[in-house]
Structure 1
Amino acid sequence: MAVLDDIREKLIDGDMNGVKEGVNQALEQGVEPAKILNDALISGMTQVGQLFEDGEFFVPEMLVAARAMQAGVAILKPRLVEDDVKPIGRVIIGTVKGDLHDIGKNLVAMMLEGVGFEVVDLGTDVTPEKFTDALTEHEAQLLGMSALLTTTMPAMRAVIEKLKEAGLREKVKVMIGGAPVTQNYANEIGADIYAPDGPSAARKAKQAMGA
């Protein structure tokens, strides 16, 4: 469908206004909101993630594409709620206690939204208690934690211990990332997923949900 192809191209180009115009145009043409979401916005964002992993896109291009995607989703959201379109999963995300860095975490959150997750972003300096409370409150299936400092990495282990105490560990997949974080560290603390960047986080989160 030409209008969906156009939205997808505009999203990949990071053209926020073009995406908004395209989404409104598609709605006027009677295209179902879920079809616009899946066949234009999510497929476009998936392509952006692939371009990043192939080394053709870098963080700035990914950020502008993600913002364009969010602008399109904002228009669709009320219609999707009306149609009872469910996200593929719900994610709690935050930067761990003692760490105030959020650029990488924000990018991961946008990429997760871009592939169809509902994201609850707790921000930075998030305590283990706040993570577990949010998981319970929102009945989320996935927890994403970020750390940019080696000194704050142990907070990730503390959150996983807290999940065990709260009886939540078996109910949720734990994904970690951040500049000093490695697959080895994820294995060491018992995290389910290690993601070095936004696109891989989105891809691995989808796989974890069987989507």
Structure 2
Amino acid sequence: MSINNKEFFQKLSDAVVEMDEDEVITLSNEIVAQGIDAYDAIDQGLSHGMEKAGKLFEEEEYFIPELLLCSDAMYAGLDVLKPHIKVNAHGVKHKVVIGVVEGDTHDIGKNLVKIMLETSGFEVFDLGRDIPPQQFVDKAKEVNADIIALATLMTTTMDGMDEVVHLLKKENIKDRYKVVIGGGPISQSFADKIGADGYAVNAADAVKLARRLVSDPSEVAV
């Protein structure tokens, strides 16, 4: 990647953090015009900016209004860039059921993961946010999913992830699905503790993990 591209991505990230929707749109259009990879722009620009905004929120430098304005800027950029992503389709699509666990209504991170999975050739069934554990299991059985992806940004709702794994084991169907988890308070040690098959720190990492899990079922580590 050239220095020019890196500078574009950094400006895009900064514009998201600065809640500058117009600048995000301008930069995104320029990225498209110059033929710069749209997926990389989302990953290293828009997503990076939202991660920074999330940290500012955690540090109480930003509050809900600022975070919402950052997300508005990010989605404005997504509207421009998403149609220009080169989809990597390889015949049969692996299926992912994704959602934010019950009690949590934060879905920006989940939405980014969904977009990047779709553009990487996965068929994604998005349940949305505040989803009860049984609903993940039911949907996975309904669509014959390969992966169940669970997200949360709250420590108080992490137990919902554990409950999904518990329900799968209770029905003796855990071996049918790979369970991946992610979000601010989540760690690899928590994934190990509840018996999940992997943990992703961000959207790009989630795609890499998903690819590994469906290409080599024996590999479960990140």
TM-score tier after normalising by the smaller chain length: 0.5 to 0.7
Q: How far did 1:69 drift? A: 5.2
Alpha-carbon offset, residue 196 of structure 1: 1.1
Residues 1:58 and 2:49 are matched in the alignment? yes
Q: What is the number of equivalent residue pairs in this alignment?
A: 169
| Other-structure match for 2:164 | 159
User: What are the Cα deviations for residues 60-117 of structure 1, in whole angstroms up to 9, with x where unaligned?
Assistant: 79766654454357xx99xxxxxx9745411000001111111111111111112111
Pick aligned residue for 1:127 from 127, 132, 139: 132
Matches of 2:214 and 2:28, distance apart in 1 = 28
Measured in 2, the distance between the counterparts of 1:48 and 1:210 equals: 26
When residues 204 and 188 of structure 1 are mapped into structure 2, their CA distance, relative to the original with a 3 A threshold, is same
Structure with more relative contact order (C-alpha pairs < 8 Å, separation 6 or more): 1
TM-score normalised per structure 2: 0.64
Which runs of no fewer than 5 residues in structure 2 stay unpaired? 1-26, 51-69, 217-222
> Normalised by the size of structure 1, how large is the TM-score?
0.67
Checking the alignment, whether the CA contact within 8 Å between 1:95 and 1:125 is kept in structure 2 is yes
8 Å CA contact retained: 2:117, 2:207: yes
Matched, 1:202 2:193: no
Structure 1 residue 190 and structure 2 residue 202: aligned?
A: no
- CA distance 1:50–1:150, shift in 2 (3 Å): closer
Distance 1:148 1:50, change over 3 A: closer
How much does 1:193 deviate? 1.0
Gaps of 5+ in 1: 1-12, 20-39, 78-83
Is it true that 1:102 corresponds to 2:107 in the alignment? yes
Residues 85 and 155 (structure 1 numbering): CA distance in 2 closer, same or farther, change over 3 Å?
same
The percent of aligned pairs where both chains have the same amino acid is: 34
SS of 1:14 mapped into structure 2: helix
Tell me how large the CA RMSD over aligned residues is.
3.6
Tell me the alpha carbon deviations over residues 112-147 of structure 1, each in whole angstroms, 9 at most, x when there is no partner. Answer: 112111111000111111111100111110010011
The residue type paired with residue 116 of structure 1 is: G
